[in-house]
C-alpha cells in the first residue's frame, strides 16, 4: 500500500489528484482530489474518500447515493504528487448514473472491459428475468442445460478451428464465452473469481 510520508503534499497546496481505476477491468472511473486526511481515511476505512474543494470537507464517495468505491490498493506516481487508486465500484460512479465519469458511449472503455460489461448484463438478466430474453430462458433452464450448451459450443469451437475458417472460429468462440459467463453466473461465480484462479496458477 502507499506510504503517505513520501507524498509531496506541498507542491499542490496540500492536495494531490487522485485517479480512480476499476480494480477489475482497468477503466478510469473518476478523478478528484485528496488531502492527507482523505487519504488516511481511505486507507483505514477501505472506502475511497476525497477532499471536496467546493464544500471544504471530507467526502466519502457514495455516502449519500450508496455507490461506494471499495478500496483495493493505492499507489503514488514517480513524482510523488499524484495518487492512483484501484477500487471496486458498488453501483454507478458518476452522478449521471453511468459507470464512469469519462465514459461517453463507450469511447474510453478498453476493449477487454466489454467482458465485464457483458457479465453485468447477464447479472441484470438473472435478477430481472425479462420476458423474451434468451439469457433469461437459459438461466431458467437450469445449470445442467447451461452446462450442456457450454459443451456444445466448445465442440463447435474446436471443429471451427480445424476447418481453418477464422470468422467461424471467432463466432463460435464468442458463443462459447457467452455461455460460459452464463454458467458461471448460474453457480454464483464471476469473471473476477476466474481471473483470481488464473493468477494463482500463473507460472505453474
pLDDT band for 103, please (50, 70, 90 cuts): low
- Is the pLDDT confidence value at 106 over 60? no
Find the largest Cα–Cα distance for the chain.
65
Domain 4-89 sits in CATH at 3.10.20.810
Phi/psi of residue 181, nearest 5 degrees: -65, -40
At the fourth CATH level, the homologous superfamily of domain 113-201 is MazG-like (1.10.287.1080)
Q: pLDDT tens across 161-188, in order?
A: 999 899 999 999 999 999 999 999 999 9
135's grid cell:
439469457
Nearest Cα to 37, choosing from 62, 16, 64, 61?
16
Percent of the chain with pLDDT strictly greater than 70: 96
Mean pLDDT of 107-119: 81
Q: What is the pLDDT of residue 26?
A: 87
CA dist 152 and 178 (Å) reads: 13
pTM for this prediction: 0.71
Q: What is the pLDDT of residue 133?
A: 97
User: What are the sequence ranges of the domains in the chain?
Assistant: 4-89, 113-201
Amino acid at each position: 500500500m502507499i506510504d503517505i510520508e513520501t507524498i509531496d503534499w506541498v507542491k499542490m497546496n496540500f492536495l494531490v489528484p487522485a485517479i480512480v481505476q476499476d480494480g477489475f477491468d482497468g477503466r478510469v472511473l473518476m478523478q478528484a482530489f485528496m488531502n492527507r486526511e482523505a487519504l488516511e481515511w481511505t486507507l483505514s476505512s477501505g472506502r475511497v474518500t476525497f477532499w471536496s474543494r467546493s464544500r471544504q470537507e471530507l467526502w466519502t464517495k457514495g455516502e449519500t447515493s450508496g455507490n461506494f468505491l471499495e478500496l483495493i490498493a493505492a499507489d503514488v506516481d514517480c513524482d510523488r504528487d499524484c495518487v492512483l487508486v484501484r477500487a471496486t465500484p458498488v453501483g454507478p460512479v458518476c452522478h449521471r448514473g453511468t459507470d464512469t465519469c469519462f465514459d461517453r458511449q463507450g469511447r474510453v472503455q478498453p476493449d477487454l472491459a466489454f467482458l465485464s460489461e457483458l457479465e453485468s448484463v447477464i447479472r441484470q438478466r438473472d435478477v430481472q428475468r425479462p420476458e423474451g430474453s434468451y439469457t433469461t430462458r437459459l438461466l431458467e433452464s437450469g445449470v445442467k442445460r447451461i452446462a450442456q450448451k457450454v459443451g456444445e459450443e466448445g465442440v463447435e469451437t474446436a471443429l471451427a478451428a480445424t476447418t481453418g475458417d477464422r470468422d467461424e472460429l471467432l463466432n463460435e468462440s464468442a458463443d462459447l464465452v457467452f455461455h460460459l459467463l452464463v454458467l458461471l453466473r448460474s453457480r454464483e461465480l464471476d469473471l473476477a473469481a476466474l481471473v483470481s484462479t488464473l493468477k494463482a496458477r500463473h507460472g505453474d
